[in-house]
Copies of this chain bind each other. A is one copy, B any other.
């Protein structure tokens, strides 16, 4: 997906400080891709570290594509997830200009940019590439059933959108800080934008979800020996449980980290669907994994957003006592306790 030596300019079109720019924020926070600048006229003249919360990236914010190119950018990444995933006329004009200037374009919209004839023509003229972050690999198949030469840790969750990707990114970063050959393996478009490779498993033909996961861990095993495979959805989610189970079974996970939002008792998208108590969530995920390959929940990553520090600590202690698994908020309090529990679990 991402050629070596790729130098990124991230486009945020006035929204660098807003939550819509979550792709930009993820890439700036977690690397490892080289970002030479952000293109955002509203915030031009400042640095990413000054604008983006929880981010220490020094990349300058510039006003236009010409400035990005002067800084050596070779690829522009659409850093904002537009509402509905649609391409607005303003974005269309900006991406067309980038392609005409010979800059490659990377995006994860619902529509593949290559289907816009004028964008495809501009890329053809300048030799720039258009990369669709959600595109499925053309040669997917079912899993191979051969062992994977790496240890695989997979995040699973009680619900969607509770931080499964951030948890594996934090754990991967903490593991790399310990000089482990650790690799983040992306299964969704934002993760792919961050790491520069991966497969959006929610977008593949349903028969190939497990096969896509199997392929990803084999690709990961070529890059390192401790793999953090991003989870998707929840076995309790009425719409997405199939993706969750296919990914779990295709992952060959050796250990699981359960992600949960403190206090959540119902599926957010389907409030008529209750969540069981946390110890039952642990039991159900271990049972589901064991249908194909046994894997233990080595630790719990609790998302305590919205709680003050004392309430967050109390929620962590309660979850740990209820489940008997090491529990922490890895984004808020650091990943080391959970990482220790995972590494101990892997033996």
Q: Which residues of B contact A292 (CB under 8 A)?
A: 236, 238, 241, 273
User: Which of B205, B236, B270, B291 has a CB less than 8 Å from the CB of A206?
Assistant: B205
A204 B205 Cβ-Cβ under 8 A: yes
Q: What mask results when residues 280 to 293 of chain A are scored 1 for a CB within 8 Å of chain B, else 0?
A: 00001001100110
How many residues in A have their beta carbons less than 8 Å from beta carbons of B? 37
Q: What are 14 inter-chain pairs, A to B, with CB distance below 8 A?
A: A142-B238, A202-B205, A205-B205, A206-B209, A206-B243, A206-B246, A209-B242, A235-B245, A235-B291, A238-B250, A241-B292, A242-B247, A242-B249, A243-B246
Which one of B211, B235, B241 contacts A239 once the chains associate, using CB atoms below 8 Å?
A: B211
Let me know if B235 and A241 touch, CB within 8 A.
no
| A203 on the B face (CB < 8 A) | yes
Cα(A338)–Cα(B244), bound, Å: 32
Question: Is the pair A242, B239 in contact by a Cβ cutoff of 8 Å?
Answer: no
Contact mask for chain A residues 257-297; partner B; CB cutoff 8 A; 1 contact, 0 none: 00000000000011011000000000010011001100000
- Interchain CB contact under 8 A, A284 and B273: no
| Contact among B236, B242, B247 for A243, CB-based, below 8 A | B242
A211 nearest CB neighbor, chain B only: B239
- Give chain B nearest CB distance to A251 CB in angstroms: 11
Q: Are A241 and B236 in contact (CB-based, < 8 A)? A: no
B250 and A207 within 8 A (CB): no
Interface flags, A178-208, vs B, CB<8A=1, else 0: 0000000000000000000000011111111
Q: How many copies does the complex hold?
A: 2
Query: What are the residues of chain B within 8 A of A240 when measuring CB–CB?
Result: 142, 207, 210
- The residues of B that contact A273 with a CB separation of less than 8 Å are 292
- CB-contacts of A116-173 with B (<8 A): 142-143, 145
Contacts A205-B204, A287-B284, A288-B288 given; does A210 touch B143 at CB 8 Å: no
Shortest Cβ distance from A277 into chain B, in angstroms? 13
A239-B143, A245-B242 given as contacts; is B210 within 8 A of A206 (CB)?
no
Q: For window 269-328 of chain A, which residues contact chain B by CB distance below 8 Å?
A: 269-270, 272-273, 284, 287-288, 291-292
Inter-subunit contact A142/B239 (CB<8 Å) = yes
